[in-house]
Amino acid sequence: MATTCFSMTIPIFKIRFFLFSCFIGIVSSQLSPDFYSKTCPNALSTIKTAVDNAVKNEARMGASLLRLHFHDCFVQGCDASVLLNDTSSFTGEQTARPNINSLRGFDVIDSIKSQVESLCPGVVSCADILAVAARDSVVALGGSSWTVQLGRRDSTTASFSSASDLPTPLSNLTQLIDTFSKKNFTTEEMVALSGSHTIGQANCVRFRTRIYTNTNIDSSFATSLRANCPSIGGDNSLSPLDTTSPTTFDNAYFKNLQSRKGLLHSDQELFNGGSTDSQVNAYSTDPSRFKTDFANAIVKMGNLSPLTGSSGQIRTNCWKTN
């Protein structure tokens, strides 16, 4: 699997030079969909069954698992760094501001990992489990599917400070564009990925300022949210990111933005008279365009700086290094 072979034929003055090169055991930075087809053929079906059960048990878990993959990939690449607990040698990502009291689904990933380890010990990485679980979560909630690229390995470190690469809910449009462009995403890809907020929940502390001070918010929507998110206290009270269909992966998020019912300040920035309004309009009227763009963008997200070949390791437990 860590073997890259290629051959080239170069015609020069009708003489053909055949160049063969075959590096054995050298890092292949390419991920591939069939990475585990020989080494752990039942890995994907095992992950899917576990995700389906978790989502059946609690629909929000699909959102939480999708978000774990995002928060993994944006911080030092898709290497499962987000799953590492703090150790004496590093402070991990879980207590960083974007993650603390917020990320969830660790227990579901740990349970999937132990099932996959008993099938094929030391083969399937935690980073790949996150990528597959994200796709299966979207599918379980009615979204479209995509082919997951595989072959990522797990990091041996995590980075509290690099968690600042993640966007904040107080960002304006310029800051959102900038945060994603630092990871080589276009503005269009950023808008498509933001459609993830068509599922899941947010804590009052992360949208309070918006519902008490923003003007680009539907006033009855703001009033209804204040009941469950007081100006003082209730920091952890939840409200759905998509007020109309929070457990269905559809395009309602974009329709909500058109009626100024985005929950987070950052959500509404995508439809606030700026350059991304037209794309929000397009996704509102054309759900299949959103689904296609979303799938392409999330596959690209899954390609952020993966560890491959002999870099990193395949962790036995996702929460600690071997």
Ligand X SMILES: *[C@@H]1O[C@H](CO)[C@@H](O)[C@H](O)[C@H]1NC(C)=O
Stretch that binds ligand HEM, among 56-64, 84-92, 215-223, 277-285 (CB under 6 A): 56-64
Cα(280)–Cα(44) distance, integer angstroms = 33
Site string for ligand X, 282-321 (x = CB under 6 A): ----------------------xx-------------x--
Q: How far apart are the C-alpha atoms of 320 and 322, rounded to whole Å? A: 7
Rounded to 5 degrees, φ, ψ at 21 are -140, 135
Site string for ligand HEM, 293-312 (x = CB under 6 A): --------------------
Q: Mind spelling out the 3-state secondary structure of 211-241?
A: HHHCCCCCHHHHHHHHCCCCCCCCCCCEEEC
Q: Residue holding tokens 């564009």?
A: 177
Nearest residue to 207 (alpha-carbon basis) of 138, 137, 269, 298: 269
Residue 221 interacts with ligand X (CB under 6 A): yes or no:
no
Q: Which is nearer to ligand X, 117 or 250 (CB)?
A: 117
Q: Which of 101, 147, 174, 285 binds ligand X (CB under 6 A)?
A: 174
321 binds, among ligand HEM, ligand X, none (CB under 5 to 8 A by kind): none
| 184 is a site residue for ligand X (CB under 6 A) | yes
Q: Which of residues 186-215 bind ligand HEM (CB under 6 A)?
A: 193-194, 196-197, 199-203, 206
Q: Is 55 in the site for ligand HEM (CB under 6 A)?
A: no
Q: Answer with the entry of ligand HEM, ligand X, none that 201 interacts with (C-beta below 5 to 8 A by kind).
A: ligand HEM
Q: Is 261 an interacting residue with respect to ligand HEM (CB under 6 A)?
A: no
Report the Cα 250 to chain-centroid distance in Å: 17
Question: How many whole angstroms separate alpha carbon 257 and alpha carbon 285?
Answer: 13
Of 67 and 135, nearer to ligand HEM (C-beta) is 67
DSSP code string of 189-218: HHHHHHGGGGS-EEEGGGTHHHHHH-SSS-
With CA atoms as reference, report the closest residue to 263 among 302, 218, 304.
Answer: 218
Annotation says 69 is catalytic: no
Show the 3-state SS of 267-316.
HHHCCCCCCCHHHHHHHHHCHHHHHHHHHHHHHHHCCCCCECCCCCECCC
239 binds, among ligand X, ligand HEM, none (CB under 5 to 8 A by kind): none
Find the binding residues for ligand X in span 72-91 (CB under 6 A): 85
The residues of the shown chain that bind ligand X, judged by CB under 6 A, are 85, 94, 172, 174-175, 183-184, 304-305, 319
Catalytic residues: 71
